[in-house]
Structure 1
Amino acid sequence: MAALGKARFLLQHKCSVYKLSGCRYFSVQSVRHSESKSPVGFIGLGNMGGPMAKNLIKNGYSVTVFDVSEQSKEDLRKAGANVVSSPAAVASEVDTIVTMLPSNPHVIEVYTGKSGILSTVKPGSLLIDSSTIDPMVSIDMAEQCSKKNATFMDAPVSGGVLAAASGALTFMVGGPASEFPAAKIILENMGKNVIHCGGVGTGEAAKVCNNMMLAISMIGASETMNMGIKLGLEPKVLKDVLCTSSARCWSLDTYNPVPGVLEGVPSSKDYQGGFATELMVKDLGLAQNVATTLKSPTPLGSLAHQIYRVMCNKGYARKDFSSAYMFLQDEKEEK
């Protein structure tokens, strides 16, 4: 509990000096190159990371990449990236790195593992993590990076695969204010909104809140579209009505869960790609852990967590989380 209390303090702290486990560390003043097109490293080339790295290349950056998937690496090689064999190899070549990884253990391994970033990181490097993880892990990574004279910032994203591909993501950034301008220069090539939320961990705090709201709204959108269609409304007409009325939300107008209503979204591609249900379960688990620690009531967040966990057990784990619509259809057929 003492550690969680420290975490809460750190998330609220706005200065560049942080207290962790009885020690003090200061934000590193970078000695990176001043030119905006300095080489960038990118680790984690999945549904989100791959398009993000490609946007850096499209915007004129030399990008060095690594991923455990050979196919993902080859895809980026064809796009013009320099592919290397490990996170350590990335860190040995560049002094600005973006990571986009699935969960806490992946981030810890990529940064602190035997072939991790910190084994070869250059002093003064800027390390930007866009994974969605526990804020406490971000705080710990920042401490580990500081021991290597490198700056760690958490910068999770919102917008989904379409925004990742079009460069329209929103970045929620936590870290030293003095380093935010340098991070923003890089992130603006992959997103249209880059928001400094405060100290290390506050970006993740904002993302946990965002994804809990998103999970709840997607279930609501799925229930509403399902009921309206059963009432005889044509799906696209119902979407147009809802999206020009007080029910309008991102889950309806940008990422509609009903197949055929919008082009290019996962629901129109058999719920392939996008944000997997199992990852939404992971994010809702983070939210519930925070809610329990802070004694913050989240009845709808808790229910959404349960629904997506059931979906995973019913075969939807690897499908996009908007498959909640199909899950409701399946439940109807089973009754």
Structure 2
Amino acid sequence: MPTIAWIGLGLMGNPMSKHLIKAGYTVRGFDIDPGACERAAGDGVEMASGIADAVADADVVYSMLPSGSDVHEVMTGSNGVFANARPGTMVIDCSTIGIDYARKLHEAASSTGVVFVEAPVSGGTEGARDGTLTFMIGCEKRHAGKAKEMLQPLGDYIAYVGGAGTGQAAKVVNNLIMGVCVTVNCEATALGQRLGLDMKEFFEIATRSSADNWSFRLWNPAPNVVPDAPSSHDYKAGFKTWLLAKDLQLAVEAAREVGVVLETAKTAHKLMTSHADSGGADMDATSLVLHLSGKK
């Protein structure tokens, strides 16, 4: 079986790499966080001394990192993936990096003989844990079949969207919807709490009516309504506030480039950014409800 390298073993990368180990692959990984390395090693990942060491003998390299700048540095640096992977190696990046970074990385990979596949995900930490993520693949069509095969242990829906930048385009639009939903869920929860509603009972009403949405059901902002939601665990992320603000910014920037105005996205981005700047950056994004209620 192919030897796997995994770069980025955090909240998403760690459980995703575990699924590959369960599928029978040898996974050699690296993360700049010693704690993440320790946890991954405990789950069976063979730890490398650095990126170059991790990818040198790999057939397929996966990455899951916070931002486009992080991915670009990891891929294109002198000690990075493209400079140290063997020609023909498939590099599958599962991060949310934006359309421009994706196009730059396709171009840089091509010049080094490496196959770059953008494969951003949707489904959150729950999907990473359960192997039920949705992947949005952008690459040359001739590589899509192998990319789908290599992602199969990690998700239950793997879509080939098109060429360079299209996977990120799909992710940007998807997270625009999700981000606005999370924001309005927090606003509605703050209002419901202030009006004295029983939020458990309101949850039952909303999820059976026109207010129902995925993030409200899984990431309900009110504590002790959904047992596994971050709100029921002191808003431990989850999906960090600064990351959702970043994703909303990517949507606003993409819209500006093609002449589309996203007023709701701009408002959601402003609220998430304000909450992040006031101390909520590393809390789960649903902790915005605390900011809206004057508690954070």
Unmatched segments (≥5 aa) in structure 1 = 1-36
RMSD (CA atoms): 1.4
SS in 2 for 1:193: strand
The TM-score with structure 2 as length reference comes to 0.96
Paired residues of 2:74 and 2:81 also in contact (CA < 8 A): yes
The one-letter code matched in structure 2 to 1:245 is S
Shift of 1:259: 1.2
The aligned residue for residue 313 of structure 1 is 277
| Structure 2 counterpart of 1:215, from 166, 171, 179 | 179
Q: What's 2:226 paired with?
A: 262
The reply on whether 1:149 has 2:113 as its aligned counterpart is: yes
Runs of 4 or more above 2 Å deviation? 225-233
Distance in 2 (alpha carbons) for counterparts of 1:324 and 1:219: 7
Cα deviation, residue 118, structure 1: 1.4
Q: TM (normalized to structure 1)?
A: 0.85
- Larger Rg belongs to: 1
Contact 1:251 1:257 in 2 (8 A): no
- Residue 319 of structure 1 and its aligned partner are, at CA, apart by 0.6
* Partner Cα separation in structure 1 for residue 262 and residue 180 of structure 2: 11
Whole-angstrom distance in 2 between the partners of 1:288 and 1:153: 24
Q: In 1, Cα distance between the equivalents of 2:193 and 2:152?
A: 40
Deviations 1:251-300 (A, max 9, x none): 21111111111122211111112111111121122111111111101000
Of the two structures, which has the highest relative contact order with CA contacts closer than 8 Å and spacing of 6 or more?
1
Instruction: Quote the offset at 1:40 in angstroms.
Output: 1.2
Letter paired with 1:151: V
**Does the Cα contact within 8 Å between 2:83 and 2:112 map onto a contact in 1?**
no
1:295 to 259, 262, 267: 259
Contact 2:180 2:268 in 1 (8 A): yes
Contact 1:49 1:100 in 2 (8 A): yes
Trace 1:1-335 onto structure 2 (pairs within 5 A).
37-330=1-294
Q: How many residues align?
A: 296
- Taking the aligned partners of 1:175 and 1:42, their CA distance within structure 2 comes to 19
SS of 2:56's partner is: helix
Deviations 1:61-97 (A, max 9, x none): 1111010011111111111111101221122121201
SS of the residue corresponding to residue 197 of structure 1 reads strand
Determine the C-alpha separation between the residues in 2 that align with 1:167 and 1:293.
Answer: 34
